Structure 1
Amino acid sequence: MSTSIPLWLCLPFAGLLLSIAIVPLVAGEWWEKHRVHAVIFWSLLFIVPFTAMYGPLKASETVLETVFNDYLSFIVMLFGLFCVAGNITFEGDLAGSPLVNTLFLLIGTFLSSLIGTTGSSMLMLRPMIKINSWRRQKRHIMIFFIFLISNMGGCLSPLGDPPLLMGFMRGVPFLWSLHLLPILIFNLVILLTVFWQLDKHYYLKDVKLGYRPDISKPGTELSLRGAHNILFLLMIIVAVVLGGTLPGNPMFQTAEGTVRGIHIVGEVVLGFPTIIEIVLILAAAFLSFKTTPEEIRRTNHFTWGAIQEVAELFIGIFITMQPALIILKEMGPKLGITEPFQMFWSTGLLSSFLDNTPTYLVFLTTAGTLGMTSGLTTTVGTIPVIFLKAISCGAVFMGANSYIGNAPNFMVKSISDENGIHMPSFFGYIGWALAFLVPVFVIDTLVFFL
């Protein structure tokens, strides 16, 4: 199975991931000051040989296509949600207990399908941190937060996670994702039961050590300050949906069927739908800051550190992952993947470290080329429902396997670290995923995909 891209061009991507995983552990202070230089180093280690092999035009098109049509909309969306959610603060005397934390995770999980995993994560994260501020042991809370709210909860609608939006654009009915509800509930029962027991264990240890919540008055009084920002949050969700659906509108297409936009270089075009999405998101962030008192941001301990870290790291990740994505697109139909469980694990494992949207599209296209005669009719072919379930669950669920598997994962880690919750290292987090998520995925395979 030869490809036009040599495998060794994937080494810069692997090198950057290893840098993210190892360097903060052995040289944390250096990493804080020089991580942007590490990103530049690994990016150039891909760009320079790629340019030498394929020429300046091909290299420019590859890099600029990634920057303008993948990374730009990605980071602007994160920036907008980060800003708007930072202007909403939870107030009340609710204390983080196993029951309260489990209910928060349950609510946030279903909210993710309505406003997206990133939107739900940014909205629920600071309240979750605040109600558990009295706790000593709380990293497990944020880890299960990533498992459920930042990933699994996005499976029930195209609004929940970008891969499902891409499926909708290729003919998958909007409400089809509700077919995944039994699988989500099945996984929720398992994971929330495990979380309840784990959180109860740490909760009792904290209480035994003398930790107590600071509740000044009896009863439960809850309120949201800056609640008007929910409108700006919805404005961002609408912008993201428009950015995904407008390219298919004839008004935004040329006679050749390509998306209209601003020409950058070669065949790279910054599409008008992407520009509309970016303008709407930045307008929402601006209006959020203009209409919200600074006191709320101070209450939330709002800083720019988390979004800066994500912006610096993910520009390198997006650029250096290109050889791996190119190879995957070329090899996808030749991999001999013809069973639902193979679709589930192939899509999922690659989505753990690569962008889950192109990974989903690769295997959706692969399923469409198998020549099936029954199932959903899409623009890429007829796909059996069981195959579509497997691909969708793999892309959405297994994004939780690593910090870089889905957009909000690293953001949750960074904000948690900023607030004094010492999250696991890159490999440490994968260890949690192996211990708690992978067994659930094995059970999913046996129950739903064999």
Structure 2
Amino acid sequence: MLMSFDSHASEFNGQALSLYWAIPFVGILLSIALCPLFLARLWHHHYGKIVAIWTFLFLGSALFSFGLTTTIELTVHAIIEEYIPFILLLLTLFTVSGGILIKSDKISTPKSNVILLAVGVVFASIMGTTGAAMLMIRPLLRANRQRQYAVHTVIFFIFLVANIGGGLTPLGDPPLFIGFLKGVDFFWTVKHMLLPVVLTSGLLLIIYYFIDRYYYAKQYGAINNTISAEPVKLYGLKNLVLLVAIIASVLLSGVWHSSLYFTLLGSQIALQNLVRDALFIAITLISIVMTPKQVRAGNEFNWDPIKEVAKLFIGIFITIVPVLAILRAGDLGALASVVSMVTSEHGTPINSMYFWLSGLLSGFLDNAPTYLVFFNLASGNAASLMTTFENTLLAISMGSVFMGALSYIGNAPNFMVKTIACQHKITMPSFFGYMKWSIAILIPVFIIDNLVFFVLF
């Protein structure tokens, strides 16, 4: 018989949940981190089953504690309202971007790699971090195909393109889009996030240049930063139209608010979201049909990365439910000591703490719900947050977007980029190996961000 994690909880309420309910979620994180190190073969063949075990541990305990109806409603909500839109967006971006082949026989130099990363940063705020990451990772890997040392390039790509580059507009990263839906003006984000994105990206590009220069000289000797005038060839350009259609579909669901909705087992499905998801499916099928097979073959395209993300994140989305519920409980929840750190004894927000806490939690939780938790904690009123508490909103926005780069699971494209890099024979670091890079490189940069935006000025 399954034992209840919290025998005193009579209903699924964040105020009544103990931290024991976080065990399945933490178990999945530790499995992702440790199994590839110590049980590599088992993990490679059975990672889906391992995630399922942790997921069913949570579901079985919820069934025992709260009953069948509550457990079904929690699961349906996590899958229908959170997971399905998430995975459909990833699927359509993965499929469409995989149908665009950017081909060049030029071998990378430190300067050309910096240019590729900078272009990816710009694209990230236009088409989202996932779209930009899936579009740019293969050309970057192809350009570095003869480099003996390429791991650092992929890691900085995750830092910049899969995360920080998405900070400029609400289209760039899910947390900012959540803010847009809650009433944060589109151009407020553009105006206030411009300097943080430029500063953070600029610092990381400078650090990357000197690291890549070192590895380039180690392999080739003399540094040759001359960029060849050899033309870049583009194939599958019809997919660019589909990328625009994806962006339009996301915007449509944000600006169109229909009064029609459907209810399924306690979960409400708004018409605009249903239309958006249907468009994602249609765009995916159109891309598959109209893209020549040789274009996808040139990209070494296969479905393994999206399959891996789909299996891992369905467990994450379900087991994260109690963790987010505890956070939403604020001062009345089991994480009250953490939540209270963002407010001074006089009741005023501590912006540095908003930056670090929303960020550190976004590095390991889903950054969109984490943003929403701290958005509501700060006041939940977009008008006051954009004016009186604009630095608090800036802190939440920067933390949620930037620090998604701290771990492989901090933002969905991180894991997909890692998987694609591994398929291209690049030996990527383990979960903790990646975090050695992120802590050593990103934390000092984030300390500078904190000083510049929340302490000194």
Q: d(CA) in 2 for partners of 1:243 and 1:189?
A: 33
SS of structure 1 residue aligned to 2:102: strand
Q: Does 1:226 align with 2:236?
A: yes
Distance 1:51 1:350, change over 3 A: same
* Aligned with 2:428 (options 408, 419, 423): 423
2:345 is the counterpart of 1:339: no
Partner of 1:137: 149
If the length of structure 1 is used for normalisation, what is the TM-score?
A: 0.91
Q: How do 1:300-315 residues align onto structure 2 when only pairs under 5 Å count?
A: 300-315=299-314
The alpha-carbon deviation at position 230 of structure 1 amounts to: 0.8
Corresponding residue of 1:116: 128
1:449 counterpart SS class: helix
1:81 partner letter: L
Q: Does 1:240 align with 2:240?
A: no
| Pair 1:309–1:383, CA change in 2 (3 A) | farther
Cα offset, 1:222, TM superposition: 0.9
Q: Residue 8 of structure 2 aligns with which residue?
A: none
Unaligned regions of 5+ residues in structure 1, if any?
213-217, 255-259
1:51 aligns with 2:63: yes
CA drift of 1:25 comes to 1.4
The residue matched to 2:50 in structure 1 has which SS?
A: helix
| Matching residue's letter, 2:211 | L
Alpha-carbon distance, 1:187 to partner: 1.2
Distance of 2:66 and 2:294 partners within structure 1: 53
- CA change 1:382–1:191 in 2 (3 A) is closer
Structure 1 counterpart of 2:402: 397
Contact 2:188 2:386 in 1 (8 A): no
Q: Helix, strand or coil: the match of 2:314? A: helix
Q: Deviations over 1:339-382 (max 9, x none)?
A: 1101101100110111111111111111116x9xxxx615x897
* Matches for 1:26-425 after TM superposition, within 5 Å: 26-178=38-190, 179-208=192-221, 219-246=229-256, 249=257, 252-253=258-259, 260-261=261-262, 263-265=263-265, 267-331=266-330, 335-336=339-340, 337=342, 338-368=349-379, 377=383, 384-425=389-430
How many residue pairs end up in the alignment? 429
- Whether 2:453 is the aligned partner of 1:448: answer yes
Task: Give the alignment's Cα RMSD to 1 decimal.
Answer: 2.3
Amino acid of the structure 2 residue aligned with 1:293: P
Residue of structure 2 equivalent to 1:215: none
Which string of whole-angstrom CA distances, capped at 9 and with x for unpartnered residues, describes residues 216-253 of structure 1? xx84111211112111111112222223443xx2xx22
TM-score (norm 2): 0.90
CA contact (8 A) 2:363 2:410 kept: yes
Distance 2:176 2:168 in 1: 9
Match of residue 346 from structure 2 = none
Is the 1:154–1:396 contact (alpha carbons within 8 Å) kept by the matching residues of 2?
yes
* Identity in percent: 40
The 2-side partners of 1:118 and 1:77 are apart by 9
CA distance in 2, matches of 1:398, 1:448: 16
User: Partners in 2 of 1:400 and 1:25 — Cα distance?
Assistant: 21
> What is the letter of the counterpart of residue 236 of structure 1?
I
Is the CA contact (8 Å cut-off) linking 1:71 and 1:318 kept in structure 2?
yes
Give a deviation string over 1:155-189, Cα, whole Å, max 9, x none: 11111111111111222111111211111111122
Q: 1:9 to 1:134 in 2, by over 3 A?
A: same
